[in-house]
Amino acid sequence: MQPKANMMNIEELEGSIESIVFTSAKTGFTVARLQTVAEVVTIVGNFASLNLGQSLILSGTWRTHSRYGLQFQVENYREALPNTIASLEAYLSSGAIRGIGSAMAKRIVDRFGLETLTILESDIDRLIEVKGIAQSKIAIIQSSWLEQKQTHSIMMFLQTYGIGRSQAVKVFKRYGEDAIEIVSQNPYQLAADIRGIGFHSADGIATQLGIKPDSEARYRSAILHTLREAGRDGHCFLPQSTLVERTARLLARPDYAAQTEQIEDQIVYLVATQELVVEESRRYPGRLGYYLPAFYYAEMSIATRLKLLLLEPLEIDHHFVETWMQQYCESSDLLLSQEQRQAVILAATQRVVILTGGPGVGKSHTTRAIVELWEAMGKQVALASPTGRAARRLSELTQRDASTLHRLLEYDRGSGYFQRDHTRPLKADCIVVDEFSMTDVFLANALIKAVSLQSQLLIVGDVDQLPSVGAGAVLRDLIESEQVPVIRLTQVWRQAQSSAIICHAHALNRGEVPEIERFSTTPRSDCLWMPSHSPQHGIQCIQQLITETIPRLGFNAFNDVQILCPMIKGDIGTKAINAVVQALLNPPQADGFEVQAEERKFRIGDRVIQLENDYDREVMNGELGIIETYDAQRQILGVQFEEHWVEYQRTEWDQMTLAYSITGHKAQGSEFPVTIVPLFMQNTVMLSRPWLYTTLTRAKQLAILVGQPQALRQAISQCRDKRRYTLLSQRLQEEQIVPSFSSNPQNSHQNSHN
């Protein structure tokens, strides 16, 4: 009989999971329905993992929720083996074990009954007795069964120390069956190896394990974590004073002087053990800079290989180039300005050339002319961009095949390495890389190493846009070094001059506040200003645009519109806007599904964006897709991206979020028919000229800025894209560089994320 709601004594409850109402992949907090002998009850608590049909023995208390009624608040739990035919079948059907679906689960349980788990554990070859199970499938089932057992024990261990389920899965994938031993011996290793587990989480585990606050391991971990975080902010290194100050803030010890001294001592130790690299910069005289080795070797490798490439002689038939150029200009439909002609000739006669310039100056047409000239010279040309969307745009503009850089460099998911490098360079005679401003120091290193010394390289990008999401400012550094030939196109073509988007982009890039047409129901311009006095009012304006204005102007509000925000949080950040727009464009249906993941609700038909690089499934940070399916039994969301299909298990849902609104940084390399850009002083910390310039130029047909005039002026006045700590420009200017790429261990792009 169910206890009374006001009883607060710890009680024990046993049953099997009938359904999972809600679970947080990050924290493990779960609401589920438990089938006991007598009835179905609601349980709430933090769980390492739950599967349908899973049998549990719970201890906790009964409480009455003001909204949801009677619930069993779980304090502790342990897993019990399923002990009924129904629970066994439900457990095997849950998707916990690969190779077993609902039909197969029924046949297995029908054959072995209550001995099913014993068969899986100690006599798994007997599964051959079940119709439809071949020997090859038995191996899959056995592997999954062992993995599931190991994962569960590791999750239980990590949950004790506050690590949620999604992170626990990453820990298991990284460490395997040694996970518990590794974490117990050095919990700070988690901060180094697992994306999403920071220093504070590892520090909490260390405290529970009895590691002292002044331990050397803690200080070393804090130093390394500070540099990793700096890398995520775009820096390749930190000056000593900055590194010490940030590490001290992280450690938060009361005796600042003693703490600073110990930090400096441990920095010396980390340099001695080659976990840090130290270097003095000409840009920052007298100041030592500290690198994580991966960042140091990437910079060194780029500079070394690029200088070798630039020094390699190139034989050119100048008469052929000039004759072809003249004939092309006379016969082609694509007119070229004088500076564009110079760019074509320069690219044809130099090993490496950078082509830069703002919107509407003809970078794409110039690139196409260069490619046609190279092909006329009998050369094999390869075209690539950092992202799939940018590669497709390059292909459309040049009318030739283009790929992502990862595909061009033959990234191997199994090993985590690029298969193309200086020992096995790209076969193409000429390589074109577009949207190069998006390329971080690691991807640039992989590319440069893979370019043969007998090949030519054309780098195309807008240096005034935001730098890469990853570390470095490679395009800017290459240009500032003055070691690589650069052509900057400046002439805005007549057809582009009719676009207010392009004209305003150039104006704000010069620091001018453009006169943007005020929004009306009959706009004459492709760039409009909708004034709004507050973030709350801005949300209302966006709602009006989505439901009324955009459709009236002939655009599809779901497919054509992208909202681009400065920030994720806040009253008018991406989170708040996504919730509002989802309710407008994809509201809940009576017969539809809805699942909760952290603070987000996912529905079939939702637009989503990938939040991190997943090399195993070839879906990259910033890729946009649509949720097409949901397998409730296995708790798997199926997402269709432009080029491929990806299935996300529940523990992987934190890899994506709603994408009706995304940040301007996530939109790099992409174009959308219509963009809506909220500009409010609430987001002033992220407003800058490079951000606004990049964001404005994402619109192909219509850009609508919604917000406060002072926020627009603030963005334009802040021309400070925060200067990143890099030394690539200096390295290129040095007379001699000792080649280091041959011994560089950082060929694996995965290493860059740590």
What element of type H or E holds 476?
helix 474-481
Q: Is 337 exposed, middle or buried (0-12, 13-18, 19+ CB in 10 A)?
A: middle
362 is in an annotated binding site: yes
Helix 500-509, helix 689-696: angle, nearest 10: 170
Measured CA distances, 391 to 396, 401, 473 (Å): 9, 9, 21
DSSP state of 222: H
Distance of CA 718 to the CA centre of its chain: 26
Q: Which two tokens stand for residue 429?
A: 């005679």
* φ, ψ of residue 339 in degrees (nearest 5): -70, -30
508 Cβ contact partners less than 8 Å away, ≥ 6 residues apart: 514, 689, 692, 693, 696, 715, 716
Which among 569, 742, 737 is positioned nearest to 657, based on CA atoms? 569
Confirm if 668 and 620 have CB atoms less than 8 A apart: no
Q: What's the CA gap between 675 and 656, in Å, rounded?
A: 21
Which among 570, 589, 566 is positioned nearest to 579, based on CA atoms? 570
59 is in an annotated binding site: no
Kind of pairing between the strands at 456-460 and 430-433: parallel
Q: What's the CA gap between 142 and 132, in Å, rounded?
A: 16
Q: What's the CA gap between 579 and 596, in Å, rounded?
A: 12
Q: Which two tokens stand for residue 58?
A: 């719970």
Q: What's the CA gap between 460 and 448, in Å, rounded?
A: 14
DSSP state of 4: P
DSSP state of 382: E
Q: What's the CA gap between 36 and 749, in Å, rounded?
A: 50
Longest CA span, the chain? 97
432 is in an annotated binding site: no
Confirm if 669 and 385 have CB atoms less than 8 A apart: yes
Q: What's the CA gap between 674 and 666, in Å, rounded?
A: 16
Written in H, E and C, the secondary structure of 97-165 is CCCCCHHHHHHHHHHHHHHHHHHHHHCHHHHHHCCCCCHHHHHHHHHHHHHHHHHHHHHHHHHHCCCCH
Q: What's the CA gap between 160 and 153, in Å, rounded?
A: 11
Q: What's the CA gap between 465 and 671, in Å, rounded?
A: 14
204 is in an annotated binding site: no
Kind of pairing between the strands at 561-565 and 661-663: parallel
Q: What's the CA gap between 43 and 90, in Å, rounded?
A: 18
Which among 567, 580, 602, 577 is positioned nearest to 661, based on CA atoms? 577
553 Cβ contact partners less than 8 Å away, ≥ 6 residues apart: 523, 702
360 is in an annotated binding site: yes
Q: Which two tokens stand for residue 277?
A: 């690299």
Using alpha carbons only, what angle is made at residue 702 by residues 697 and 707, rounded to the nearest 5 degrees? 80
Q: What stretches of 513-626 show up as alpha helix (H) in DSSP? A: 535-544, 550-552, 574-585
Burial code (b: 16+ CB inside 10 Å, e: under 16) for 256-275 equals: eeebbebbeebbeebeeeeb
Confirm if 660 and 607 have CB atoms less than 8 A apart: yes
User: 């394990």: which residue's tokens?
Assistant: 209
Annotated binding site: 360-364
Known binding site for ATP: residues? 360-364
